[in-house]
Amino acid sequence: MSSPGTTAHDVPVLDGSALAGVLSEVYAFEATRAVVRCASCGHADVLARTTVHLTAMGGVVRCATCTAVLLVVVERPDGVRVSTSGAAWVQAPG
- pLDDT tens sequence across 19-70: 888 888 888 888 889 999 999 999 999 999 999 999 888 899 999 999 999 9
Query: 8 pLDDT exceeds 80?
Result: no
By the 8 A CB rule, do 68 and 53 touch? no
Q: How many structural domains are present in the chain?
A: 1
What is the pLDDT, as a whole number, of residue 9?
Answer: 62
Residue 13 lies in a domain: yes
What phi and psi, each to the nearest 5 degrees, are found at residue 87?
-100, 135
Q: pTM surpassing 0.85? A: no
**Do residues 62 and 53 make contact, with C-beta atoms less than 8 angstroms apart?**
yes
What is the mean predicted confidence (pLDDT) over 9-13?
A: 76
Q: Does residue 73 form part of some domain?
A: no
Q: Is residue 49 part of a domain?
A: yes
Q: Considering the domain boundaries, does residue 78 fall inside one? A: no
Structural domain that includes position 15: 1-68+87-94
The answer to whether position 46 is within a domain reads yes
